Amino acid sequence: MSQLKEPDPVKPVAAIFSAHRHRLAEAARKLEEKIGPIDFISREFIFDQTDYYCQEMGWPLIKRFFATRKLMDPVELVPLKIWTNELENEFRDSNSRRQVNIDPGYVSAERLVLATGKNNVHRIYLGQGVWADLTLIFEKGEFKTLPWTYPDYASAEIRSIMADIRKRYQDQIRLQTGEEE
- Give the pLDDT of residue 181: 46
Model pLDDT, residue 108 = 98
Q: What is the pLDDT of residue 147?
A: 97
pLDDT of residue 86: 97
Identify the pLDDT of residue 180. Answer: 52
pLDDT tens digits, the chain, 181 residues: what are they? 999 999 999 999 999 999 999 999 999 999 999 999 999 999 999 998 888 888 899 999 999 999 999 999 999 999 999 999 999 999 999 999 999 999 999 999 999 999 999 999 999 999 999 999 999 999 999 999 999 999 999 999 999 999 999 999 999 999 987 765 4
User: What is the value of pTM for the model shown?
Assistant: 0.94
Q: What is the pLDDT of residue 51?
A: 86
User: From CA 30, how far away is CA 21, in angstroms rounded?
Assistant: 14
Strands 124-127, 45-46: pairing kind: unpaired
Which residues in 78-129 belong to E strands, given as ranges? 101-107, 111-116, 124-127
3-state secondary structure 42-64: CCCEECCCCCCCHHHHCCCCEEE
Residue 49 has a pLDDT of: 84
Is residue 95 classed as helix, strand or coil in its secondary structure? coil
Q: CB atoms < 10 A from the CB of 150, how many?
A: 17
* Sign of torsion over alpha carbons 128, 102, 120, 160: negative
Show Cβ contacts of residue 82 under 8 Å, excluding neighbours closer than 6 positions. Answer: 128, 129, 130
